[in-house]
């Protein structure tokens, strides 16, 4: 393992140690023999990993000292009138002018881009550095990923870091409109794992957790205690590798649009699809595979590939009352034509139909509806992550604030390399995001009065 992986393991071991001790503290007892044995083993591994990290850091420090170049001796310069004179060639004057143009950054936006006009301008400079390292763009030298002295060799040694402005732009695309990640209960972490205490008891529960009782004067008050569970999530990795050919690098505007928009679009949909359909193995646990999901039955003799107002009403009835005001409808786009026509027959006390009670409201008719209107007053979100019309998962009623997402605090990491396809004159751009997620609940909610369970995530049976 490298140093970064070892540090992640160190954090993981620390969380395990805290969890063992916290469990004993919560029960107000000493550690059990098996817990003490496990804790000793974890702490021993912690010390071993910590020592391994220190050893590797010392080796890296030695390598850095050995690689430090020796200072050059400058030749004595002629002196005139007590002041040294410096011969300036035409090439030096041109280089100085270019250097001033590239480093004189008057605005915050220019400094965030390191002086580059756009992503295409940056990519073109990287390409030029590969072809002619001796005439490297000064902006790359000053901001090279691993250089500490501004050496022209830094580009060939380790590539160049993508300027911060494009990193931020890609992260905005992932969190932007159309991504479910922004709707979730999002937590930022610095380590590799995080543990949450979870209370899944309900207000009407009569056993387990904190309980309340009616009693009389002088009665002994009945005691109770919290009933908490541990929820631990370990970050998974989502990546995009984008090679840039010589032809693409020659077109700066196309490159700026291609790298930022396309990589962000792919990452955004991958996260959204995992939040809905993820297996929980190497990726987030999605709504459709979560044990807390409730599946509502179709109407008797319902025609295939149809969606009725009664389906929507049945789904609404399975959402906890406090969550319905925060819920959204996640639907496949093919369901929209039927949703737009939904309604209940209205009679005048006889069997005659005198109108229709609409349950769908179009865009603009109600505040906070979104681009696709609302159903029973809740916004409609259309996504390709939902299943095809007529299959389970084509319509989902969800309170996304009850879906826990954990994202690495650094967000998107963007790197470049000129080595991977060096012989093909191609630069590789790599984007890495680490995250995980799952619903807060581990099971559907049992009710006090009624046999139907409740959940924050309700899907309709296949028709």
Structure tokens at 53: 């990290």
Q: State the pLDDT at residue 140.
A: 73
What is the phi/psi pair of residue 427, to 5°?
-105, 140
More confident residue, 214 or 294: 294
Q: State the pLDDT at residue 225.
A: 84
Residue 116 CB contacts under 8 Å (≥ 6 apart), including other chains: 122, 125, 139, 163
Residue 407 CB contacts under 8 Å (≥ 6 apart), including other chains: 181, 186, 187, 188, 189, 433, 434, 435
Which residues pair with residue 112 across a beta bridge? none
Look at residues 67, 12, 9, 17 and name the one whose alpha carbon lies nearest to residue 39: 17
CA distance 288 to 391: 12
Look at residues 386, 362, 363, 375 and name the one whose alpha carbon lies nearest to residue 329: 375
Average pLDDT, the chain: 78
More confident residue, 81 or 173: 173
pTM score, two decimals?
0.63
Q: State the pLDDT at residue 86.
A: 41
* E strands present in 31-183: 79-80, 83-84
Confidence band of 102 (pLDDT split at 50, 70, 90): very low
Confidence band of 412 (pLDDT split at 50, 70, 90): confident
Judged against a pLDDT cut of 50, whether residue 84 lies above it is answered with no
Look at residues 194, 206, 269, 275 and name the one whose alpha carbon lies nearest to residue 233: 194
Q: State the pLDDT at residue 250.
A: 67
| Mean pLDDT of the region 414-436 | 78
Structure tokens at 335: 């369901």
pLDDT digits (tens, 9 = 90+) for 266-301: 888 899 999 999 999 999 999 999 999 999 999 988
Whether 123 and 249 have beta carbons less than 8 Å apart is answered as yes
Q: State the pLDDT at residue 72.
A: 46
Residue 87 CB contacts under 8 Å (≥ 6 apart), including other chains: none
CB burial of 119-136 (b: ≥16 within 10 Å; e: otherwise) equals bbbbbbbbbebbeeeeeb
Q: State the pLDDT at residue 158.
A: 43
pLDDT digits (tens, 9 = 90+) for 221-233: 888 888 887 888 8
Judged against a pLDDT cut of 50, whether residue 16 lies above it is answered with yes
Which of these ranges, 19-28, 179-188, 297-306, 411-420, has the smallest mean pLDDT? 411-420
Confidence band of 75 (pLDDT split at 50, 70, 90): very low
* 229 sits in which H/E element: strand 229-234
* E strands present in 235-383: 236-244, 294-296, 328-331, 343-347, 353-358, 360-361, 374-375, 378-382
More confident residue, 244 or 48: 48
What is the phi/psi pair of residue 236, to 5°?
-105, 165
pLDDT digits (tens, 9 = 90+) for 143-170: 654 444 433 334 444 445 556 566 666 6
């Amino acid at each position: 393992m490298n140093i970064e992986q070892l540090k992640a393991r160190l954090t993981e071991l620390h969380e395990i140690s805290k969890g063992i001790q916290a469990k004993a503290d919560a029960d107000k007892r000493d550690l059990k023999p098996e817990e003490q044995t496990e804790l000793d083993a974890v702490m021993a591994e912690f010390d071993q990993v910590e020592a391994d990290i220190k050893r590797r850091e010392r080796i890296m420090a030695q390598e850095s000292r050995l690689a430090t170049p020796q200072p050059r001796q400058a030749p004595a310069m002629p002196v005139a009138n007590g002041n040294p004179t410096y011969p300036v060639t035409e090439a030096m004057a041109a280089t100085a002018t270019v250097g001033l143009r590239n480093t004189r950054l008057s605005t915050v936006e220019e400094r965030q881009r390191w002086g580059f006009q756009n992503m295409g301008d940056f990519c073109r400079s990287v390409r030029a550095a590969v072809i002619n390292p001796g005439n490297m763009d000064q902006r790359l030298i000053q901001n090279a990923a691993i250089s500490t002295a501004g050496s022209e060799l830094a580009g060939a040694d380790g590539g160049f870091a993508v300027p911060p402005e494009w990193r931020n732009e890609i992260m905005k695309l992932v969190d932007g409109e159309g991504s479910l990640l922004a709707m979730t209960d999002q937590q930022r972490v610095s380590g590799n794992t995080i543990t949450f205490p979870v209370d899944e008891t309900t207000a009407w529960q009569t056993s387990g957790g904190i309980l309340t009782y009616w009693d009389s004067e002088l009665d002994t008050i009945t005691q109770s205690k919290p009933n908490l569970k541990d929820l631990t999530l370990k970050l998974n990795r989502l990546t995009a590798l984008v090679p840039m050919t010589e032809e693409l690098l020659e077109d700066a505007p196309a490159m700026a649009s291609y790298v930022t928009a396309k990589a962000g679009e792919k990452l955004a949909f991958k996260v959204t699809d995992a939040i809905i359909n993820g297996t929980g193995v190497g990726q987030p646990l999605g709504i459709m595979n979560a044990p807390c999901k409730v599946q509502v039955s179709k109407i008797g003799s319902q025609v295939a590939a149809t969606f009725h107002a009664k389906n929507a009403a049945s789904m609404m009835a399975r959402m906890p009352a406090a969550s319905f005001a925060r819920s959204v409808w996640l639907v496949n786009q093919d369901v929209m034509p039927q949703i737009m026509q939904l309604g209940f027959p209205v009679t005048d006390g006889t069997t005659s139909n005198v109108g229709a009670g609409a349950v769908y409201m179009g865009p603009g008719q109600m505040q906070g509806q979104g681009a696709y209107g609302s159903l029973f007053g809740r916004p409609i979100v259309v996504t390709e992550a939902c299943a095809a019309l007529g299959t389970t998962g084509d319509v989902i009623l969800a309170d996304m604030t009850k879906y826990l997402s954990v994202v690495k605090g650094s967000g998107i990491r963007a790197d470049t390399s000129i080595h991977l396809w060096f012989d093909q004159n191609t630069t590789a751009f790599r984007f890495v995001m680490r995250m995980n997620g799952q619903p807060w609940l581990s099971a559907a909610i049992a009710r006090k009065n009624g046999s139907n369970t409740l959940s924050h995530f309700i899907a309709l049976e296949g028709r």
